[in-house]
Amino acid sequence: MLKRPGRGSSDSLSDKLYKHRSLLLLVSVPLLLLTMVFYVMPSQTPIQIHSSKTSYAVIFDAGSSGSRVHVFCFDHNLNLLPIGKDLELFLQTKPGLSSYASNPRSAALSLSDLLHKAEAAVPKDLRPFTPVRVGATAGLRALGVDASNRILQAVRDLLKQSSSLSSQPDAVTVIDGTQEGSFQWVTINYLLGNLGKEYSDTVGVVDLGGGSVQMAYAISEADAAKAPKLSDGEDIYVRKMSLKGTNYNLYVHSYLHYGLLAARAEILKVSEDSGNPCILEGYNGSYNYGGESFKASSSGSSIDGCRRVATKALKVNEDTCTHMKCTFGGVWNGGGGDGQRNLFVASFFFDRAAEAGFVNAKEPVAKVHPGDFEEAAKRACQTKLEDAKSTYPHVDKDNLPYLCMDLVYQYTLLVDGFGIDPWQEITLVKKVKYNNALVEAAWPLGSAIEAVSSLN
């Protein structure tokens, strides 16, 4: 028997909508909100997707001898990506910021061309998200607080007015020596693929700049626990670092006044106003550094005489060591160990070795011994200034009078200062091979890794 249709079956559509109005409202409001979100998202999506794949960093190394800019590009795993045909953009100019002590604006403008070229290497949509750092090193440290602060503020103003890169006020600063040394250690071990390994599988680094020299190497927990306690205001000896899931105790110390250019002044101070045995015979002039002028005339260059003067300048024989083991000037040496077994020596060490002719300047890496610097020094110290240009055609004329001094100092620093055996093999490094490309072995890459990591 058929049932008669009920009255509800004849409800109109409008009646049904009215009857279920609460349910419809509950469903439609979230849908409306989702629609609005998707409508707004497209304008932001390209930047979010792009920046999650690649990140850039622009790092200025404002050293005492010149200013250099490095531009790096990383993928999301912090692997370097090419910029054009190379794995970094690297440009430089001379002189350094410290040469403009009395003219901060000119100091800042000396970076202008480097800044524009570096910015052009970064995709336009990523520039607001790309950190730019300016790390001034020993040259500005030597100027004093007032002069260096005026220069740094002029550089901050330049970045703010002339660049769309992401610049924070504290990203333009004089980096302390321990930062410089630790960044250099990170750079070289990153490029060698050592980060994430045991500390004993990393390499130690000595970086000889113009105004300061840094030593850095990973040490054991036991040696880190023995680190001397320093007074307030002094750099700590051990920096704790966590890199690629591995914790490191990094011994690092920076010796201000003992970079290659600053050490010349220290060596000339020893002889005061008399002739100096480290100056090539035939030269009589003056040496300007850090706003001071020093008499630089030869007393007849002699490797033995120069060694005595260099050792005195380094304060090697002064009984100022209050720790178990010291380098020079009473500085704790970190205890030695496996992290120092393989030593990579950078910057002016490579440059002078190439100019003196005992390594190939076209090769980025060379295996040598500290004793090779002494052998090269013997030859240089016997050369008169008038013959030096033809004997050493690749040495800048301003550096020629000091070639004996530089080579003797480098040998003395390694052997007497740092206690390295004269015939221990060390690696002179200019660039490091990374993914079939060559990358500058300098601290800015370590700074870039930290800058990009802090964004994530």
Distance CA 59, CA 72 (A): 8
The identity of residue 20, as a single letter, is H
- Given a contact cutoff of 8 angstroms between Cβ atoms, the answer to whether 344 and 441 are in contact is yes
Provide the residue count of the chain: 456
* Whether the Cβ atoms of residue 196 and residue 207 lie closer than 8 Å to each other: no
Q: 242 pairs with which residues across the strands? A: 247
88, 180, 281, 450: the catalytic one is: 180
Buried-state track 390-405, b at ≥16 Cβ within 10 A, e below 16: ebbeebeeebbbbbbb
d(CA 323, CA 331): 8
- Cα–Cα distance, 363 to 170 (Å, whole number): 37
450 catalytic residue (yes or no): no
| CA 272, chain centre distance (Å) | 34
Residue type, 376: A
- Residue 99 CA to residue 332 CA, distance in Å, equals 33
DSSP 37-58: HHHHGGGTHHHHHHHHH-EEEE
Instruction: Kindly give the residue spans of alpha helices, DSSP state H, lying in 121-278.
Output: 138-143, 145-162, 177-191, 221-225, 260-271
The Cα–Cα gap between 259 and 349 comes to 11
By annotation, the residues acting in catalysis are 180
